[in-house]
Chain A
Amino acid sequence: MSTDKILVGIFSFFGIIFTYWFFLMKREKPVNVLNKVDITVSGGFSPKMITIQKGKPTKINFLRTDSSDCLSEVVLSDFKIRKELPLNQKVNIEITPQKVGEYKFTCGMNIYHGKIIVK
């Protein structure tokens, strides 16, 4: 096998490992929220993981700054909320979780994900 093929093989192998590590091995620490949090919607949700208190009303403000159509909606299906996120406009969602657990929130097409941890 010629050198270039070996190099391409090695490059691809490490490329695959890197892709796996970069996208799928990300560890994120949840942000503790008292009663209000701003989540920036740009290439995903930031912060992506929040911790809130059970039984306490919590305001989540979503601000989309990314023009991608993928992110034009946010869905908190466990709370039966689907909201449009107009570009550069704050959208306020208030939830009062009654059960401890982990609840996902996603974009309208279910590509981007975030998590609400209720303690």
Chain B
Amino acid sequence: MTELRRSFPIKGMHCASCVRVIERALSKVAGVSSATVNLATEQASVAYDPKVATDEILSSAVAGVGYKLVLGQEIKSEGEQKQEKQKELKKLRSKVIISLSLGAIIVVGGFFGLPPLVQLLLAIPVQFWVGLEFYRATIPALKNRTANMDTLVAIGTSVAFGYSAFVTVLPQVVEKIGIEPMPYFDVSTVIIGLILLGRFFEAKAKAGTSEAIKRLIGLQAKTARVVKNGKDIDLPISEVAVGMVIRVRPGEKIPVDGKILEGESSIDESMVTGESIPVDKTKGDNVVGATLNKTGTFTYKATKVGSDTLLAQIIKLVEEAQASKAPIQRLADLISSYFVPIVIMLALFTFSVWYIFGPQPAFLFAILNMVAVLIIACPCAMGLATPTAIMVGTGIGAEKGILIKDAASLETAHKINTVVFDKTGTLTYGKPVVTDVVSVKGKGESGKAVLQMAASIEKGSEHSLAEAIVKKGEAERVKFEKVTGFKAIPGHGVEGVVKGKKIVFGNRRLMEKEKIDTTLARSDLTKLEEEGKTVMMLGVNGQLAGLIAVADTVKDSAKAAVKKLQGMGIEVIMLTGDNGKTAAAIAKQVGIKRVLAEVLPGEKEKEVRKLQGEGKKVAFVGDGINDAPALAGADVGIAMGSGTDVAIESGNITLINKDLGSVASAIILSKKTMRTIRLNLFWAFGYNIILIPVAMGILYLPFNILLNPILASAAMALSSISVVGNSLLLKKAKI
């Protein structure tokens, strides 16, 4: 017995007694050797013989005692989180409205002599109710001896508010030291209002950066029509198990991955794989969950559910890429560790310099400039500069069927100046097809007859090229004749008798062996061989009757893809194990000038390293299955996906859309993302490097310019938004 131990989530448990009830129910199932249920994690761990106890039996045993055993995990339930976020946003919006309205009354009222005491009363709710979140964040941070944006805002607004409250309550004290007792409640209130306004817009914009992943999650079907005992039952997607038979009608979403059992249809897979043309599928073909069935009805067997489906894998990959770090971020990381404490030190320095050396009233200048320094500093812009662009960049890629494994690959891809394509299965389909059928003039056999005889005799052959010839025969609807005396001659070809004629079909050596003169077809033979095709000859009763050429064909998108890359100034190289002649012929067809032929599979990586040794930044494009070392050795490994069994893990970038043109698109996307990151970092650093000294008053001596703290808060609010907004602009990029 092969025992399997698996954990299943359990829904509906409340207390310890539920645990026992479920454990007992599961233990009673035939084939289950042990079952333990954990209340805290709401999981059941079951050891069972999958041949005896199926997932459905376990599920129904648990259902029988009033609970639910979840078979396939749903990818994620976003609804609740979304609602919570929206609630938070609403609250933030009302806080912004209140603080800015009260701030506006104070600003305008100040001009018309609104008494300071009234201003104080209006400012208190802004400072301690609206602004409470700054204090709430500051206090635990200080306990941990750390500081953040909120710390700066809390200190800055507290100083402005505290000073203003002081001059309002005890004006005579400041008058005594020669300062006019003017409050600055406008500063404390408007700063809080503007910073929260900035946060509101930033939160909205940030939601846009993760739109792609939300869209992917949203693609998942909610239910599946499972065929059970001849009846169709609608089941929630989480209860669909491997092996279940599912019926899909026209216009419906395919719930999980599987293999068609019956029926045929045209399926739109663009939403998952980015492949734009609907694919015709029939019995035996794989279907992808979350894609759209367009025309026919079919039943299929679920082969992958829950987190094993292609969609779930894509989501996981995109999530991981979005969480990874781009090397360009390192500097921002380093600075952000020191940034806030340094700003606090600069604020103290500003205060003392203005107090000691500034003009009168020095105390006021010192306070206002110190507040401006605290408020203008924006560490968030630096923190957001890279991750937001990476999120948008990887998201756009996923939407177009370009899966980028991590931020580092996205960063490296923009430096690529050489793209090496593996030939078989990448530039070509990897399956030989009949390209030419030639009848030898004057021998009385038409092209169709040549094909008929070859296809008839090859039907009994197991040679790899035979399949191509038989397929061609079927496509041309030739009549397969009965063959007698069939014999395969290893290394030569086949022979047999068809309609009383002795037929030999094979290579040049077979013709020589049979003493068949091939001179009549020499020019055709040379031409076909120069085109890189494998030519087989048909001899009928000792005379050459025709030629059939077989070749691996170039993918439709190959030529345009190569041209696009060359147009970008990238050198394109083809690498293959084929002989030079065949390789050159294919290279010519797709427009590749440099070919590395006769490279053994194990040496592909070595060739890539050699190119790197020439100082090139190399991307290797392969099918992801046989080329793993070369993909790993290249600066960027690009794996071509193939249907559902995508070798997602094998490359830095996987093209699940199967479009070779996406190699260029991935490089363009990388270039555009890097441009956005650079602009973001330039803006975020530049902003702080330029405006902090301005807030300190560096422009006061030469130009008499000082930065009002209110303007400082407006600038701060704008800086984060502009960084996120710039990242969102990437969505408009054409790749």
- A44 touching B144 by the CB < 8 A rule? yes
- A109 touching B379 by the CB < 8 A rule? yes
Could you say which residues of chain B place their CB within 8 Å of the CB of A66?
Answer: 136-137, 140
- B145 touching A23 by the CB < 8 A rule? yes
- B349 touching A16 by the CB < 8 A rule? yes
The one of A12, A24, A44 that contacts B349, using a Cβ cutoff of 8 Å: A12
Enumerate A1-40 residues with CB–CB distance to B below 8 Å.
Answer: 1, 5, 8-9, 11-13, 15-16, 19-20, 22-24, 26
- A19 touching B323 by the CB < 8 A rule? no
- B84 touching A111 by the CB < 8 A rule? no
The answer, yes or no, to whether A80 is at the interface (CB within 8 Å) is yes
- B382 touching A110 by the CB < 8 A rule? yes
> CA separation between A19 and B151, bound complex, in Å?
13
Enumerate A73-119 residues with CB–CB distance to B below 8 Å.
Answer: 75-82, 84, 86, 104, 106, 108-113
- A43 touching B146 by the CB < 8 A rule? yes
The answer, yes or no, to whether B352 is at the interface (CB within 8 Å) is yes
The answer, yes or no, to whether A58 is at the interface (CB within 8 Å) is no
Known: A19-B341, A71-B137. 9 other contacts (CB 8 A): A1-B356, A8-B355, A15-B348, A22-B341, A24-B341, A43-B139, A80-B321, A106-B333, A111-B149
B contact face: mostly helix, strand, loop, or mixed: helix
The answer, yes or no, to whether B560 is at the interface (CB within 8 Å) is no
- A86 touching B84 by the CB < 8 A rule? yes
B131-174 interface code vs A (CB 8 A; 1 in, 0 out): 00100111111111111111000000000000000000000000
The answer, yes or no, to whether B96 is at the interface (CB within 8 Å) is no
Shortest Cβ distance from residue A116 to the other chain B in the assembled complex, whole angstroms: 14
Shortest Cβ distance from residue B333 to the other chain A in the assembled complex, whole angstroms: 6
The answer, yes or no, to whether B324 is at the interface (CB within 8 Å) is yes
Shortest Cβ distance from residue A7 to the other chain B in the assembled complex, whole angstroms: 10
- B323 touching A68 by the CB < 8 A rule? no
- A70 touching B146 by the CB < 8 A rule? no
> CA separation between A81 and B348, bound complex, in Å?
38
> CA separation between A26 and B338, bound complex, in Å?
12
Do A111 and B336 contact each other (CB < 8 Å), given the known contacts A77-B324, A82-B323? yes
> CA separation between A67 and B203, bound complex, in Å?
15
> CA separation between A84 and B76, bound complex, in Å?
13
Best-surrounded residue of A13, A23, A112 (most CB of chain B within 10 A): A23
- A76 touching B323 by the CB < 8 A rule? yes
What are 26 inter-chain pairs, A to B, with CB distance below 8 A? A8-B356, A9-B352, A12-B351, A19-B345, A24-B338, A26-B145, A42-B144, A43-B141, A43-B146, A67-B137, A68-B133, A70-B149, A71-B137, A75-B387, A80-B319, A80-B320, A80-B321, A80-B324, A80-B406, A109-B383, A110-B329, A110-B332, A111-B340, A111-B379, A111-B383, A113-B337
B315-344 interface code vs A (CB 8 A; 1 in, 0 out): 000011111110001001100111011001
Best-surrounded residue of B84, B139, B146, B406 (most CB of chain A within 10 A): B146
Do A43 and B324 contact each other (CB < 8 Å), given the known contacts A5-B356, A23-B341? no
Shortest Cβ distance from residue A48 to the other chain B in the assembled complex, whole angstroms: 7
Chain B residue at minimal CB-CB distance from A71: B137
- B141 touching A44 by the CB < 8 A rule? yes
The one of A11, A12, A69, A80 that contacts B323, using a Cβ cutoff of 8 Å: A80
Could you say which residues of chain B place their CB within 8 Å of the CB of A81?
Answer: 320, 323
Shortest Cβ distance from residue B128 to the other chain A in the assembled complex, whole angstroms: 15
The answer, yes or no, to whether B384 is at the interface (CB within 8 Å) is yes
Interface residues on A, range: 35 or more
The answer, yes or no, to whether B380 is at the interface (CB within 8 Å) is yes
Do A77 and B348 contact each other (CB < 8 Å), given the known contacts A86-B84, A110-B336, A112-B148? no
Shortest Cβ distance from residue A5 to the other chain B in the assembled complex, whole angstroms: 5
- B144 touching A46 by the CB < 8 A rule? yes
Shortest Cβ distance from residue A25 to the other chain B in the assembled complex, whole angstroms: 9
- B351 touching A23 by the CB < 8 A rule? no
The one of A13, A19, A71 that contacts B344, using a Cβ cutoff of 8 Å: A19
- B199 touching A69 by the CB < 8 A rule? yes
The answer, yes or no, to whether B17 is at the interface (CB within 8 Å) is no
Query: Tally of A-B residue pairs with Cβ under 8 A?
Result: 123
Do A68 and B406 contact each other (CB < 8 Å), given the known contacts A5-B355, A82-B323? no
> CA separation between A68 and B135, bound complex, in Å?
10
Binding site for A on B (CB under 8 A): 81, 84, 133, 136-150, 199, 203, 319-325, 329, 332-333, 336-338, 340-341, 344-345, 348-349, 351-352, 355-356, 366, 379-380, 382-384, 387, 406
Shortest Cβ distance from residue A93 to the other chain B in the assembled complex, whole angstroms: 11
> CA separation between A80 and B382, bound complex, in Å?
20
Do A109 and B384 contact each other (CB < 8 Å), given the known contacts A48-B144, A67-B137, A69-B199? yes
Could you say which residues of chain B place their CB within 8 Å of the CB of A13?
Answer: 352
- B352 touching A8 by the CB < 8 A rule? yes
Could you say which residues of chain B place their CB within 8 Å of the CB of A9?
Answer: 352, 356
Shortest Cβ distance from residue A30 to the other chain B in the assembled complex, whole angstroms: 15
- B84 touching A68 by the CB < 8 A rule? no
Could you say which residues of chain A place their CB within 8 Å of the CB of B140?
Answer: 42-44, 66
- B348 touching A19 by the CB < 8 A rule? yes
- B150 touching A20 by the CB < 8 A rule? no
Shortest Cβ distance from residue B211 to the other chain A in the assembled complex, whole angstroms: 15
> CA separation between A37 and B642, bound complex, in Å?
41
Chain B residue at minimal CB-CB distance from A28: B145
- A68 touching B150 by the CB < 8 A rule? yes
Do A111 and B148 contact each other (CB < 8 Å), given the known contacts A12-B348, A75-B323? yes
> CA separation between A13 and B406, bound complex, in Å?
45
Could you say which residues of chain A place their CB within 8 Å of the CB of B333?
Answer: 104, 106, 110
Could you say which residues of chain A place their CB within 8 Å of the CB of B344?
Answer: 19, 23
> CA separation between A110 and B379, bound complex, in Å?
9
- A82 touching B349 by the CB < 8 A rule? no
Could you say which residues of chain A place their CB within 8 Å of the CB of B406?
Answer: 80
Best-surrounded residue of A1, A8, A23, A110 (most CB of chain B within 10 A): A110
> CA separation between A42 and B143, bound complex, in Å?
9
Shortest Cβ distance from residue B463 to the other chain A in the assembled complex, whole angstroms: 46
- A77 touching B149 by the CB < 8 A rule? no
- A44 touching B146 by the CB < 8 A rule? yes
> CA separation between A108 and B149, bound complex, in Å?
13
Could you say which residues of chain A place their CB within 8 Å of the CB of B321?
Answer: 80
Could you say which residues of chain B place their CB within 8 Å of the CB of A26?
Answer: 145
Do A78 and B383 contact each other (CB < 8 Å), given the known contacts A19-B341, A20-B341? no
Could you say which residues of chain A place their CB within 8 Å of the CB of B81?
Answer: 84, 86
> CA separation between A13 and B81, bound complex, in Å?
47
- A68 touching B340 by the CB < 8 A rule? no
Could you say which residues of chain A place their CB within 8 Å of the CB of B325?
Answer: 77-78
Shortest Cβ distance from residue A111 to the other chain B in the assembled complex, whole angstroms: 5
- A70 touching B348 by the CB < 8 A rule? no
Chain B residue at minimal CB-CB distance from A113: B337
> CA separation between A106 and B380, bound complex, in Å?
13
> CA separation between A9 and B353, bound complex, in Å?
8
Shortest Cβ distance from residue A10 to the other chain B in the assembled complex, whole angstroms: 9
Nearest 7 CB-CB pairings of A with B: A43-B140, A82-B323, A68-B137, A12-B352, A43-B141, A109-B383, A77-B325
Shortest Cβ distance from residue B151 to the other chain A in the assembled complex, whole angstroms: 9
> CA separation between A72 and B121, bound complex, in Å?
33
Chain A residue at minimal CB-CB distance from B336: A110
> CA separation between A16 and B332, bound complex, in Å?
23
- A8 touching B351 by the CB < 8 A rule? yes
Chain B residue at minimal CB-CB distance from A6: B356
Shortest Cβ distance from residue A18 to the other chain B in the assembled complex, whole angstroms: 9
- B147 touching A23 by the CB < 8 A rule? yes
